[in-house]
Amino acid sequence: MDLAHACRGDEPADVLRGDSPAGHDDDAVPRESDEFRDPIQVVGATNSLGAYPAECPLSSQDLLATKYRHLGIDTRAEFHDFAGRPFPILSGGEPIRELI
């Protein structure tokens, strides 16, 4: 028995190496195709190094505001702590228009 097969115990070594098992056609193996991928939305641009936003700088608060909007949560709502002080759900940020 091959060491790779002995370690896993459930698949032959040729499958672990990525080779097609004997009698199996590579075309029959389901592959990820573009029609099954999630759509990707790009907002803004970065400098040539990808280090800083060149246009449309956004914050993590903007991303949270977008998520909350999609979930139906009012980002301007407040909770009150035990002393009665208001505690905002989100301290800032606006939903990203391009993702709404």
Residues 55 and 25 reside in one and the same domain: no
pLDDT computed for residue 93 by the predictor: 92
User: Are 25 and 8 in a shared domain?
Assistant: yes
Q: Which residue has the higher pLDDT, 43 or 82?
A: 82
My answer on whether 14 and 47 are in the same domain is no
Number of structural domains found in the chain = 2
pLDDT band at 28 (very low <50, low <70, confident <90, very high): low
Question: Chain centroid to CA 86: how far?
Answer: 32
Residue by residue, DSSP assigns 31-86 as ---GGGSPP----SEE-TTSSSEEES---HHHHHHHHHHHHT--TT-EEE-TT--E
Length of the chain, in residues: 100
Going by C-alpha positions, the residue among 24, 22, 91, 86 that lies closest to residue 62 is 91
Please indicate, yes or no, whether residues 54 and 100 belong to a single structural domain of this protein.
yes
Question: In this predicted model, what pLDDT tens digit does every residue of 45-98 receive, in sequence order?
Answer: 889 998 999 888 999 999 999 999 999 999 999 999 999 999 999 999 999 998
Does 15 lie in the same domain as 57?
no
pTM, rounded to two decimals: 0.55
pLDDT of residue 100: 85
d(CA 12, CA 19): 10
State which residues form the domain around 75.
41-100
